[in-house]
Amino acid sequence: LTTPSNTQAERTEVLYGVDNTTNEILNFLSSAKTQMDICADYTWPSVAIGVDVFKKALFNIKDRGIKARFVTDITKNNLEYCKEAMKIGELRHLVGIKGNFALSEKEYMASATLQEATPLQQVIYSNVKEFLEQQQYVFDTFWNKSIPAEHKIKELEEGLAPDKIEVIQNSSRSQALYFNIVKSAKEEILLIFPTPNAFIRQENMGVIRAIIETAEKTNVKVRILMPAHDLTENSVQTLRRRDQYRHGNIDIRYIEVTSGTKATILLADRKVSLVMELKDDSKTTFNQAIGLSTFSNSVPGVLSYVSIFESLWKQTELYEKVKESNKRLEEANEQLKVHDKMQKEFINIAAHELRTPIQPIISTVGIIRSRKASMKEHQLDDSLDMITRSAERLKQLSSDILDVTKIESQLFELNKEKFNLNDLLSKTVEDYKNQIAKTNMNIKLALRFTENTIVVEADRNRITQVISNLLRNAIKFTKKGDGTISIEVQKIEGEGEESMYTQRFVMVSIKDTGSGIDPDILPRLFEKFASKSFQGTGLGLFISRTIVEAHGGKIWLENNDDNLQTAGTTFSFTLPAISNQKNISQQQATEVLDK
Amino acid sequence: MIAKENNSGKKRVLVVDDEPDISLILKMVLEDSGLEVHSFEDPISALNSFEVGLYDLLILDIKMPEMDGFELYHEIRKKDNKVKICFLTASEMYYKKLRNEEFCSLNKDMFIQKPIENEELIKEINKILSS
């Protein structure tokens, strides 16, 4: 192969030893006139720039105005050399390029191996024209397949992959890519499953596990949109529970299954998308079910998918809100129905209670009219008593109904004044004693004070109303009209609304020996219409509670014993007390009491 | 004891109403119209003392403690399926709704609404007695 050294003559030669090779290379570089095309592997930049003589010779080429083109494999490690090389000529990147050769317009040099930043041990030289043409073709092919160095450098420096849209025919490649994208996600994974089956297949394939691992390890936020279905409900619940205990990085929302959705869409870091088209949803494995897939890292395309995802995500939020407000409407409607039912019930009870006392009035008046002169005096008295009783009952009822109406329309007001509560109790109890005396009942009323004067600031009429209500109840439930009702008044210490100091309260207890109260009705007793009694509207205790609470007190009751038949009930209520000295002198109080 | 045979020739009526004033005054009104009237304030006692053939008509209140008028009606019907029974009630609900639902088979004249004028009541009762 060796021919005599002649510039005109064709020569192809293998040279050994650093000195020989270096000389040959420098000769080759300095004799170039118009072009210098070099294609070499990732070590080349370190040899070309890192070995001083070669670097000088290359820069000299530039100075001579020779057009230089380099193709190499740009990596993180040779990045700085590449940047230097770009000052000499045009540099392009071809991933994994292996051949090492250089072409001037008339000479060719090659080396089988290159070593990092080291002169060469062995080179091949040739100036055979046909061979040069052939190698030029190889170089041009590589050149055309390569990409500008700037792109690769940018990618390396910013971690960006070159823009690419690729259609993947092979579903096992899609599967591999799917895992890759999930595992290498750094910030965010967005995923849309088209069908429940798609979720199940991909869960079986292990993708969900990979997503959880990524979410937990690198704090990637995962959002999943999928149709709700019984088949996937368990997995979703498990996923949600598991995630709750960890980072709260995985959020799943449900979308409607539309016949149009036929692809699993995977988006990572808003930089890559993988759209896996569903070929046959009835298949059990991913590889059988998936047809074509499209991979893209082209920003406009990926961001379009992201925006579609975000719209759907927002839609589920709106859907949830609509559902929530529907629920509230339903609840409000339920409440209205309950209210409506209570109103109807009230009308029924009120109608009964209003009509009942009218009957004795009408009938008695009728009797008086028809009998007239024939009526004896005691008969007339009985008749008038009956009319009076019924009229009293109507009066009470109308005032109760009016009170409830005031309470419900928030027009209920108190006219407070300071007075001795003992005085008021004595008078009220006396009235009831007189009433009982007129009947054939044998009920004793026993009033007991712990102090002579207990001053309260309250609405005198309203407090009378409460006491009357409780006394009437006690009398009504005292069986067979035989028993004792004990009324007690005492001062107690209680927690005030401001817990800094203990507030003093007055407690009034009314204890009867009646039939006790059905435990079923206890919790509702102070509500409207709670009465199980067959007389009364069930308004008295509701009104009493409103009055007591408006004064800042409480009202409650206890059955005296578990045996309802004999034990009876104690109703108690409290009112805030006022210290005697400050508000009413002891003397004045005594005077009040004496009256 | 109430004599089973009604010697006076008067029609005999039983009034059951838990309101003492009402059972008393109804008794007076109906007696003034020429009927023999017995009254009870307690439906259980009324049921216990009921005997077949004793009364021409039973006038029952509906809303009563222990046993309401409908229950009393059913209990009496077990003993006697011929005696005339009518309801006298102040209730709106019972009067309108239950009359249609539970007692749709009953003649609607069997329900008389309280309050009612004496003459009107007597007219209604006589109508039922003579039907």
DSSP-derived pairing of the beta strands A482-495 and B84-89: unpaired
- ipTM score: 0.88
> Contact A359/B32, CB-based, under 8 Å?
no
Least confident of A27-41, A420-434, A505-519: A505-519
Q: Which residue of A has its CA nearest to B63?
A: A534
> Contact A362/B119, CB-based, under 8 Å?
no
Query: What integer is the mean pLDDT of A12-41?
Result: 93
Mutate to test the interface with B, among A352, A384, A393, A480 (most CBs of B within 10 A): A352
* Minimal Cβ distance to B92: which of A348, A390, A534: A348
Answer whether residue A501 shows pLDDT above 60: no
Q: What angle do CA A38, A42, A45 make, to 5 degrees?
A: 60
How high is the pLDDT of residue A499?
A: 43
> Contact B28/A367, CB-based, under 8 Å?
yes
Express each pLDDT in B66-105 by its tens digit: 888 888 998 998 998 889 999 998 877 555 555 555 555 5
> Contact B116/A359, CB-based, under 8 Å?
yes
Contact at 8 Å (CB) between A70 and A85?
yes
Could you give the CA distance from residue A265 to residue A277 in angstroms, rounded to a whole number?
9
How high is the pLDDT of residue A191?
A: 94
How high is the pLDDT of residue A454?
A: 87
Express each pLDDT in A286-334 by its tens digit: 999 999 999 998 888 899 999 999 998 998 888 888 888 999 999 999 9
Contact at 8 Å (CB) between A193 and A227?
yes
How does residue A482 score in pLDDT terms, banded at 50, 70 and 90? confident
Q: Which residues on chain A are in Cβ contact (under 8 Å) with B119? A: 366
> Which amino acid, residue A455?
V
CB atoms within 10 A of CB A553: 23
Contact at 8 Å (CB) between A500 and A553?
no
Distance of residue A203 Cα from the nearest chain B Cα, in angstroms? 59
Q: Which residues on chain B are in Cβ contact (under 8 Å) with A355? A: 90, 113-115
Q: Which residues on chain B are in Cβ contact (under 8 Å) with A364? A: 25
* Minimal Cβ distance to B115: which of A358, A371, A534: A358
Distance of residue B66 Cα from the nearest chain A Cα, in angstroms? 10
Query: What integer is the mean pLDDT of A19-35?
Result: 93
Answer whether residue A8 shows pLDDT above 70: no
Distance of residue B12 Cα from the nearest chain A Cα, in angstroms? 20
Dmax (CA) for chain A in angstroms is 169
Mutate to test the interface with B, among A359, A382, A535 (most CBs of B within 10 A): A359
Least confident of A75-84, A196-205, A401-410: A401-410
Distance from the first to the final alpha carbon of chain A:
147
Mutate to test the interface with A, among B88, B116, B118, B123 (most CBs of A within 10 A): B118
Could you give the CA distance from residue A539 to residue A148 in angstroms, rounded to a whole number?
91
Distance of residue B29 Cα from the nearest chain A Cα, in angstroms? 7
> Contact A362/B117, CB-based, under 8 Å?
yes
Express each pLDDT in B4-33 by its tens digit: 556 678 899 999 999 889 999 999 999 999
A357: tokens are: 């006392």
Residues of B with CB under 8 A from a CB of A: 18-19, 21-22, 24-26, 28-29, 32, 63-65, 89-93, 113-119, 121
Express each pLDDT in A502-529 by its tens digit: 568 899 999 988 877 777 777 777 877 6
CB atoms within 10 A of CB A353: 23
Contact at 8 Å (CB) between B118 and B26?
no
Contact at 8 Å (CB) between A514 and A506?
no
Give the DSSP per-residue string, A463-498: HHHHHHHHHHHHHHHSGGGEEEEEEEEEEEEEE-SS
CA A318 to chain centre: 13
Percent over 70 (pLDDT), chain A: 90
